[in-house]
Amino acid sequence: MKLIAGNWKMFKGPRETREFCAAFTAPEGVEAVLCPPYVSLAAAVESGQTVFAQNVHWADDGAYTGEISAPMLVELGVTGSIVGHSERRQYFGETDETVARRTVAALEHGLRVIACVGESLEERESGQMELVLRLQVEAVGDAVGAHERLVIAYEPVWAIGTGRMATPEQVREAHAFIKSLLDVPVLYGGSVKPERAELIAHEGVDGALVGGASLEVESFEAICRAAGAVQ
């Protein structure tokens, strides 16, 4: 079954979240996950949808202003978390080490994890794609191995929020390389839209991490339907 996760980033407070959840129904044959901002997690959980956080800290508690721990998410009814999204790496100093630490903490507390990896345009054009992916994937793999609750999301940084999307050949190449390093499902993330949802059908693509197109019920449902049709 394909996994389709909608990363809402810093959009939708509790009111909009309740409206979305009331209108959204996941199609048959696909697992749909919603990843709202922290303030909207409770509203999403109350709706009965499958809910992941957008980040999780490695400590159970402590003097970490602004952070949220895995036990807090579990108590709230959240079932998983994204870690290491390219925007966390770019804007908030996330490193391969901290991504691994967050992954370990989440898994230890029974959460599922979508760990994000991906290269920049400069890294791809200079032939460093495999090196970058190896460092990022092995940091997680060395920490937790091929854990049953772990999923990797391949998000080429040059395709995040740019409207650009990797070609099927680029996706197959990257996903095959990631799976050669760590035997876990791999999602594609990078300007996934309904009109390009056929990428999800390709071999080695186990689902998608959807950004902007997950903010509207119609477009997110369309992507989920496309994924459900290729089982």
Phi-psi region of 152 (alpha: psi -120 to 50; beta: other; left: phi over 0): beta
Reference 141, options 182, 189, 106, 92; nearest CA is 182
Q: Is 85 a catalytic residue?
A: yes
Q: Which of 85, 87, 119, 123 is catalytic?
A: 85
Q: Rounded to an integer, what distance in angstroms lies between the CA atom of residue 93 and that of residue 123? A: 18
Q: Which of 87, 119, 123, 155 is catalytic?
A: 155
Beta carbons of 34 and 6 less than 8 angstroms apart: yes
CA triple 111-54-195, angle to 5 deg: 110
For the chain, how many helices (H) and strands (E)? 9, 8
Q: Is 147 a catalytic residue?
A: no
Reference 67, options 36, 102, 17; nearest CA is 102
The catalytic residues are 85, 155
